[in-house]
Amino acid sequence: MQDAILATYLIETQHPLEKAAQVMAGEQSAGTFVRVPGETPELLEKHGAKILEITPLEAVSAPSLPGAKPPRQSHSSQWQRARVVIAYPFDNVGLSLATLITTLSGNLYELGPFSGLKLLDVEIPAVFQSRYPGPKFGVAGTRQMAGVFDRPMIGTIVKPSVGLSPDQTAELVRTLCEAGLDFIKDDELQTNSPHSPLEARVKAVMAVINDHHVKTGKKVMYAFNITADLDDMRRHHDIVLAHGGTCIMVNMLAVGPVALRAISQHTQLPIHGHRAGWGALSRHPLLGMEYVAFQKLMRLAGADHLHVNGLRNKFCESDESVIASARACLSPLFQAQDVAMPVFSSGQSTLQVADTYRALNSVDLLYLAGGGIMAHPLGPAAGVASLRQAWDAALQGIDLHEYARDHVELRQSLEMFAAL
Amino acid sequence: MQDAILATYLIETQHPLEKAAQVMAGEQSAGTFVRVPGETPELLEKHGAKILEITPLEAVSAPSLPGAKPPRQSHSSQWQRARVVIAYPFDNVGLSLATLITTLSGNLYELGPFSGLKLLDVEIPAVFQSRYPGPKFGVAGTRQMAGVFDRPMIGTIVKPSVGLSPDQTAELVRTLCEAGLDFIKDDELQTNSPHSPLEARVKAVMAVINDHHVKTGKKVMYAFNITADLDDMRRHHDIVLAHGGTCIMVNMLAVGPVALRAISQHTQLPIHGHRAGWGALSRHPLLGMEYVAFQKLMRLAGADHLHVNGLRNKFCESDESVIASARACLSPLFQAQDVAMPVFSSGQSTLQVADTYRALNSVDLLYLAGGGIMAHPLGPAAGVASLRQAWDAALQGIDLHEYARDHVELRQSLEMFAAL
């Protein structure tokens, strides 16, 4: 018998915890509180999900989500939180990512007894690897294609996010290549629009990147956002490949897990996984899922790079959550090479480098910065140099301001941010 | 110039409403609070999203979601809610469902100024119809294939949801066909598992349905859950079609919009769209999106039937929300025939029929019941008859209990529920 799929949830309920967990297990497998014909003890034994652990946590005095139904004879004004581990029989699911997702997070969020329910983590049995080997390129393959080793890859995003023509984009890319960037990406909003058709953008941008490659030996990695209908995504991929491009980008939630998987079967290039829309699934502490779980599903689908936000970001996510996400991306799913490259983005600059390295203890990451590069007083090349210097300092355990004394680009970067 | 895409949001913020709306518009198009090089007035005019309306609503004394960042000099302890309408230029998006979704609901949910943000509705310009014609079958095509007109289609779900073998499923289907059901579906958890491979299930079930068809002239519609990786879904569809099946089912959120779209291009059968996982996007009143918006995106992707929960359901959704969803499914997107069939499910019985009809004023729906059919004291056929009688009563405007006087199946159904 195959190993079960183990899912860990955070729940909040007024019902007895054991009963509440049984409702979850029943809804997502065979068996509910109401026995139906055909639901034999043998069937329940083989196909019923099992509750492995219930760990009571704090109680709260108000429900986190509206609409929950109290027990019939409850007069309690407390809502109990708990961590619950449920084992789903592999035989219910089979080797299907979409069925796995349905089982882990189907009707659960709507179940009457719960004023809060969040998927925290999932343990996926090794048998899935035979069909879903994970990222095709991952960290090692990305480094190989970008020619960047032993340090973080420094990148940026084309801005304005929409509105530039292919030629204007290529012009900006020339500046960014010359500035020494390792990685450039389209914005998540820029896909294949009338004002910047993907094919024209690829041609214009790759002419610049290939030219820079011939001149300098450095092949800058550009993540072209191929997000579209599936046939178009495949065609977009082929266009990128044909012009010597080395990365494709997919808005994972906008296309969905099965389309991402289809692209991963087709691709000869690393997939840069953007998580636009993720906030809807994660913003509430008692609803949706943790990125720790989500990133496993996306790696199963084939994502090589995974956005994790960044420390002290412009969004609402805590630093703890960002670091937990990045660590999870760098933890093997089935084997060492199936790790994905975490992408730090959103208001990142020289200021967050030391803390990022301290928390992650790894240089296997993409570090994307915008303003700190383009607005550096000595120009974009100095902006990139300042970021490289900040990472050098962090790696050598030298204080940022001390290191800045004899590194002018870093010094001017810190002065610029101090003046803001 | 093409018409813009109009999106309506509910927001909650401590920032001035005009500024908060500008942050949304800027994040999701060209232009942010910080001007970047290349962001010319011409580019902003052409590509910047426009704020069309801001309607202040109530203020609340606590933030609905954690993590929001207050304005620098705010001492307010109020969080203001508002309805905001934003117009996204078509030229930013192009004819791509995935890019449309990214634009409508990308990074918005994570933006610092907001302690709540929900997509309420979207107006999709007519140009999308040229590429995304909507449901292939919709209400009219489904009725044609099922041979059911001028009344709701009565259906049920195979239970236990997982664990039955193909032969056991077929045996149950025989009982359900003989009971007079119009429609039967797989559970969302039952796809192509080791204990019930899809092909074996299709063969066993369709043998029964085809046999019943030959004997009675009635072709019961069975929604086979083809949810899987894309190649498998296409193959599953072909198997269903080859054996005379008339419906396929897809877990829309588990596969994602682009895979749903790919199946809709391939299918020769109506797509029964299951929304497992929807609770994560909808359960919080200030996060995610309303089904009114979601169902439009799923119809664009090709869904013919759309689950809407049911009145007085076992889940957490209000009746108002259920009816708003169903009405939205029955409202044209671009033209009269692109309506989808709303699927009422979850604890539905003879008891909710009158209120459902009163609220919806339509019989264009699938009405799924479980216990009320299988547990009817006179057997499943009487269970189906009782539901038909409840709908007859509702259509004729006759009180349920009055109608039950000379309709024994309905009377026994009401007695059974009264005794629970």
CA distance A259 to chain B (A): 5
- pLDDT score for A72: 87
Exposure string over A28-52, b if 16+ CB within 10 A, otherwise e: bbbbbeeeeebbeeebbebbbbebe
Q: What are phi and psi of A183, to 5 degrees?
A: -150, 135
Give the pLDDT band of residue A6 (cuts 50, 70, 90).
very high
Query: Does A292 contact chain B (CB < 8 Å)?
Result: no
Q: Quick check: A45 pLDDT over 60?
A: yes
3-state SS assignment for residue B318: coil
- pLDDT score for A76: 81
CA distance A162 to chain B (A): 5
- pLDDT score for A32: 57
- pLDDT score for B371: 86
Q: Quick check: A33 pLDDT over 60?
A: no
- pLDDT score for B93: 97
What tokens were used for B226?
Answer: 């083809």
Q: Quick check: A349 pLDDT over 70?
A: yes
- pLDDT score for B420: 83
What tokens were used for A370?
Answer: 């915008």
Widest pairwise Cα distance in chain B: 79
What percent of chain A lies above the pLDDT cut of 70? 98
Query: Does A105 contact chain B (CB < 8 Å)?
Result: yes
| A287 touches A117 (CB < 8 A) | yes
Structural Rg of chain A based on CA atoms: 24
Alpha helices in A217-290 (DSSP H): 230-242, 252-255, 257-266, 278-282
- pLDDT score for A372: 86
**Residue A348: CA count within 13 A, CB half-sphere:** 27
What tokens were used for B105?
Answer: 């609901």
- The verdict on a CB contact (< 8 Å) between A94 and B38 is no
Q: Which domains, and CATH codes, for chain A?
A: 5-130 (3.30.70.150), 138-418 (3.20.20.110)
What tokens were used for B207?
Answer: 């043998």
pLDDT by residue (tens digit) across A177-213?
A: 999 999 999 999 999 999 999 999 999 999 999 999 9
pLDDT by residue (tens digit) across A213-228?
A: 999 999 999 999 999 9
CA distance A199 to chain B (A): 14
- pLDDT score for B35: 64
Q: Quick check: A99 pLDDT over 80?
A: yes
Other Cβ atoms less than 10 A from the Cβ of B103: the count is 27
- pLDDT score for A287: 98
Q: Quick check: A399 pLDDT over 70?
A: yes
Residues 211-270 in B contacting A (C-alpha not used; CB under 8 Å) = 227-233, 251, 253-262
Residues 344-373 in B contacting A (C-alpha not used; CB under 8 Å) = 370-371
Cβ contacts of residue B220 below 8 Å, gap of 6+?
B146, B173, B176, B177, B181, B182, B183, B184, B209, B212, B213
- pLDDT score for A35: 64
| B170 touches B204 (CB < 8 A) | yes
User: Exposed, middle or buried: residue B174 (CB in 10 Å: 0-12, 13-18, 19+)?
Assistant: middle
- Write out residues in chain B with pLDDT < 70, as ranges: 1, 31-36
- pLDDT score for A30: 84
Beta-strand (E) ranges in A61-128? 79-88, 114-123
| B281 touches B101 (CB < 8 A) | no
- Stretch A65-93: mean pLDDT, rounded? 93
Closest Cβ–Cβ partner in A28, A189, A283 for B103: A189
Q: Quick check: A86 pLDDT over 60?
A: yes
- The verdict on a CB contact (< 8 Å) between A105 and B43 is no
Q: Which helix (H) or strand (E) holds A274?
A: strand A271-274
- The verdict on a CB contact (< 8 Å) between A316 and B30 is no
Question: What is the pLDDT of chain A when averaged over all its residues?
Answer: 96
Q: Which of B72, B43, B65 is nearest to B111 (CA)?
A: B65
CA distance B162 to chain A (A): 5
pTM: 0.97
Q: What are phi and psi of B313, to 5 degrees?
A: -80, 170
The one-letter amino acid code at B255 reads V
Query: Does B45 contact chain A (CB < 8 Å)?
Result: no
- The verdict on a CB contact (< 8 Å) between B259 and A262 is yes
Give the pLDDT band of residue A18 (cuts 50, 70, 90).
very high
- The verdict on a CB contact (< 8 Å) between B99 and A228 is yes
- Tell me the residue length of chain B: 420
